[in-house]
Amino acid sequence: MGRIVARVLGAVFVLWAVVTLAFFGAYAIPGDPAEAVVGGAGSRSTPEQLAQISAQYGFDRPLWVQYLDTLGDLLHGDLGTSYSLKTPVATLIGQTVGGTLVLAAASLAVAWAVAIIVALGSTRDSRLGTALGSLLEVTSVAVPHFWLGSVLILLFSVGLGWLPPISTPGPSGLVLPVLSLALPLAGFLGQVMRESFIAALDAPFTLSARARGETETRVRLVHALRHAALPAISLSGWAFGSLISGAVVVETLFSRPGLGRTLLAGVLAGDIPVIVGVVLVIAAVYVLVTFATEAADRIADPRLKAAARPTEAAAW
């Protein structure tokens, strides 16, 4: 019980820290917030207009007053209103968060599937197979999302004409963005999995399973995979976070509505409520996913249930 309270307090601390960093970070971007209200590239404002807006929005107050104001609003569940779009930030996030979560979740699932297939399939006694698998993983990790996405577009949209380059709402519009995000991550997960997989195949329990006459497939899928997956499961929380940051690039490339594009537009426009709101939501998702991966860890690794490790409390 105390453990759960500590977790929740830790989560609140993380969210507060993130909001604070985002707020002051956003203010550190040079530029007059009043320009964000009228601004945007190509718009030119007169002095009176900017002064009037500053007074109206309270930009002329000390920064710490504005910070406490923002914090107070957030505590009341009010994410504020976008300077540039004049729309409540909660509405903006509500419209786009689904698309990003679907993209990230699908990418994580595909990354896992690819990682398992490559790691399991190529970790054989054959050195060539292992080497090829490793090479694939290392290469895909090194590929930037943007480059991979562009190549996929040239290949599958322009060349073969199978899939749309601009993401559409249906499943066909999701394929290329998901592949762009999932393949580098799959390489990463695969590398992690392969190492523990090799260790598990050499472990005594594998030997005894083989001695019991179990098939190689069963040994791999039931016994070794469970061990091999553990570090990868722990990393999935982090991976989900990285997918959301990768979404900024992929959503822009495939012109797909989402949180990443909302954040990018917010940063470019100097729209502080949008920046703070989106960063807060991303942090909240990240905290939730970390809770979830911990729970998944416990299911996959029964040893964790027996011995609670208090040192882990502040691990994230």
Partner 1 sequence: MRRTLPSLSVALLSTVLLAACGGGGGEDTANLTPQQGGTLVYATGDDEPACLDPQTRGNVPQALLGSQFLESLFYQDEKGEIQPWLASAWKVSEDGKAWTVDVRQDVKFSDGTPLNAEAVKVNIDRVLNPDTQSTTGRLALSKVDKVEVTGEYTAVIHLLQPDGALLESLSQVWLPIESPTALKRSNEENCLSPVGTGPFKIESWTKQDNVTLARNDSYSTPPPGASHTGPAYLDKIVWRFVPDGTTRFAALQSGQVNVVDVLEPQNAVAAKNIPTLGTLIASRPGEPVEIKLNTGRAPFDDAKVREAFFSAVDVAGALKSVYLGTVEQAKSPLSSATRYRADTVKQAYDPDAANQLLDEAGWTAKDADGIRSKDGKALTVVLPYAATIPLEPGFYEQVQATAKKVGFDVKLQPLETAKWWVANNDWEYDALPIYYTKNSADVLRITSLSSANTATTVGGYHSGNTALKSPELDALLEKAGESTDDTERADLYKQAQELLSNGYYVLPVYDQQTRLGYETKVKGLRLLPSLSMPTFYDAWIND
- In the complex, the residues that contact partner 1 under the rule CB under 8 A are 29-32, 34-35, 37-54, 84-87, 92, 95-96, 146-147, 150-151, 153-154, 157-159, 161, 164-166, 249, 252-255, 257-258, 261-262, 264-265, 268-270
Shortest spacing between CB 92 and partner 1, in angstroms: 7
The tokens of 43 are what? 């718009």
Q: Considering the complex, state which of residue 154 and residue 295 has its C-beta at the smaller distance from partner 1.
A: 154
Return the number of other C-beta atoms located less than 10 Å from residue 165's C-beta: 18
Q: Considering the complex, state which of residue 193 and residue 275 has its C-beta at the smaller distance from partner 1.
A: 275
Residues 6+ apart with CB under 8 A from 101: 285
Shortest spacing between CB 274 and partner 1, in angstroms: 11
Q: Considering the complex, state which of residue 54 and residue 130 has its C-beta at the smaller distance from partner 1.
A: 54
Q: Considering the complex, state which of residue 33 and residue 187 has its C-beta at the smaller distance from partner 1.
A: 33
Shortest spacing between CB 98 and partner 1, in angstroms: 12
Helix axis angle, 172-202 relative to 204-211, nearest 10°?
90
The shares of helix, strand and coil residues in the chain, as percent rounded to the nearest 5, are 80, 0, 20
What gap in Å lies between CA 285 and CA 314, rounded to an integer? 17
Shortest spacing between CB 96 and partner 1, in angstroms: 7
C-beta of residue 259 within 8 angstroms of C-beta of residue 2: no
Q: Considering the complex, state which of residue 41 and residue 306 has its C-beta at the smaller distance from partner 1.
A: 41
Shortest spacing between CB 166 and partner 1, in angstroms: 5
Q: Considering the complex, state which of residue 103 and residue 253 has its C-beta at the smaller distance from partner 1.
A: 253
Shortest spacing between CB 126 and partner 1, in angstroms: 34
What gap in Å lies between CA 316 and CA 122, rounded to an integer? 33
What gap in Å lies between CA 271 and CA 284, rounded to an integer? 20
Closest C-alpha among 111, 90, 109 to residue 259: 90
Return the number of other C-beta atoms located less than 10 Å from residue 194's C-beta: 22
Q: How far is CA 213 from CA 206, 217, 228, in A?
A: 11, 12, 21
Q: Considering the complex, state which of residue 193 and residue 249 has its C-beta at the smaller distance from partner 1.
A: 249
If 0-12 CB within 10 Å is exposed, 13-18 middle and 19+ buried, where does residue 244 land? buried
Shortest spacing between CB 99 and partner 1, in angstroms: 9
Radius of gyration of the chain (CA): 24
